[in-house]
Amino acid sequence: MDDVVVKVLLLGDEKVGKSTFLSRISGGSRSLDGHAQITLLRDIDQPFIFEVTNRRRRYCLEFYDTSSPEDWRLLQPDLVLICYDISQRLSLIDMQRVWIKQVHSTFQTSDGLPIMVVGLKRDLRSEDDPNGIIYPQEGYKVAQEMRVDKYVECSAVTGELLKLAFEEICNTAVKTSTADGGQSEGGCAIL
């Protein structure tokens, strides 16, 4: 049986942690706990390919970053991940003002396109800066306002919640190849 190819596009401001996230998950299951060394991937090597197998078939997940060698607007993704840096409020604001609008204006199928919000750099959440801190509840609320399907957050550096976030991304990606699609049945799910 042939592999099912699923294209996953990561969008978000520069330096929100997309490359580190992709680099960490590229190390496979042994690196998802955050203990293994991170070898940074190069943008010119895109797409970053991950093979996932479930009981029924194999899936080839092709991850593309915003800094793809091609213009990301030319891609036809099956799943979009809008990423923001938990320690940078501006990246959360840009997610609402820029990135969700880019998705809707760029992809004609955006009504059926599953979208997830991924909060990165969870390890940098600091109680010392009460104005800049973004708690999970606030990230989730913004994700709901954007009417996306799911909200996850993790730290690629420490591995905190990384395995859970990656599993949820994989589960959603796999669902995009079914007749029901990868969109949630209404509302935003937090994981």
**pLDDT tens digits along 34-76:** 666 666 666 666 677 878 787 778 888 888 887 655 677 888 8
Stronger pLDDT, 17 or 191, i.e. the higher one: 17
Span 101-122, mean pLDDT?
87
Name which of 81, 89, 152, 86 is nearest 123 in CA terms: 86
Instruction: Output the pLDDT for position 177.
Output: 76
Instruction: Output the pLDDT for position 41.
Output: 66
Span 151-173, mean pLDDT?
90
Query: What is the torsional sign of CA 154, 159, 164, 170?
Result: positive
For the chain, the average pLDDT equals 82
Domain boundaries, given as residue ranges, for the chain: 4-190
Task: Decide if pLDDT at 85 tops 90.
Answer: yes
Task: Decide if pLDDT at 174 tops 80.
Answer: yes
Q: Is 62 helix (H, G, I), strand (E, B) or coil?
A: strand
Span 81-93, mean pLDDT?
93
Tokens found for residue 149: 């399907």
Instruction: Please give the CATH number for the structural domain made up of 4-190.
Output: 3.40.50.300
Q: Which amino acid is at 20?
A: T
Name which of 87, 91, 95 is nearest 144 in CA terms: 95
CB 87 within 8 A of CB 15: no
The whole-angstrom separation of Cα 144 and Cα 146 is 5
| Beta strands 58-65; 4-11: pairing state | parallel
